[in-house]
Chain A
Amino acid sequence: MQPTAAQNMIFSNTETIPGMTISQSLGVVSGSTVRAKNVFKDIGAAFKNIAGGEIKAYTELLQESRNEALFRMLNDAAARGANAVVNVRFATSSVAGGAAELLAYGTAVVAQ
Chain B
Amino acid sequence: MAGEEEPFVGLMIFAIVCSCTTVPWLLSLFATMITQPRKRKVLLERETAAATTGDSLTTLSKPFGDREIREFRVMMASVVMSPSWVQMWIGGIMSLFGGQINVYTKVVDWARREAKQRLREQVAEAGFDEVVNMRIETTVMSRNKGGKDKTAGVEILVYGTAIKY
Decide if B135 touches A89 in the complex (CB within 8 Å): yes
Decide if B139 touches A94 in the complex (CB within 8 Å): yes
How distant is B76 from chain A, measured CB to nearest CB, in Å? 7
Decide if A94 touches B147 in the complex (CB within 8 Å): yes
Residues of chain A at interface, number, CB under 8 A: 34
Decide if B160 touches A90 in the complex (CB within 8 Å): no
Task: Tell yes or no: B161 within 8 A of A by CB.
Answer: yes
**Looking at chain B's contact residues, is the secondary structure mostly helix, strand, loop, or mixed?**
mixed
Report the tally of A-B residue pairs with Cβ distances under 8 A.
119
| A1-45 vs B, Cβ < 8 Å mask (1 yes, 0 no) | 000000000011111111100000000000000000000000001
Task: Tell yes or no: B117 within 8 A of A by CB.
Answer: no
Decide if A14 touches B82 in the complex (CB within 8 Å): no
Task: Tell yes or no: A63 within 8 A of B by CB.
Answer: yes
Bound complex: CA A92 to CA B115 (Å) = 16
Decide if A11 touches B145 in the complex (CB within 8 Å): no
Residue of A at shortest CB range from B161? A13
Residues of chain B at interface, number, CB under 8 A: 49
Bound complex: CA A13 to CA B34 (Å) = 39
Bound complex: CA A27 to CA B76 (Å) = 24
B111 partner residues in chain A, CB cutoff 8 A? 54
B155 partner residues in chain A, CB cutoff 8 A? 58-59, 62, 92, 100
Among B74, B81, B157, which residue has its beta carbon within 8 angstroms of that of A12? Answer: B74
How distant is B59 from chain A, measured CB to nearest CB, in Å? 11
A–B complex contacts, Cβ < 8 Å, 8 sampled: A12-B74, A12-B161, A13-B160, A14-B62, A51-B35, A59-B155, A94-B147, A98-B143
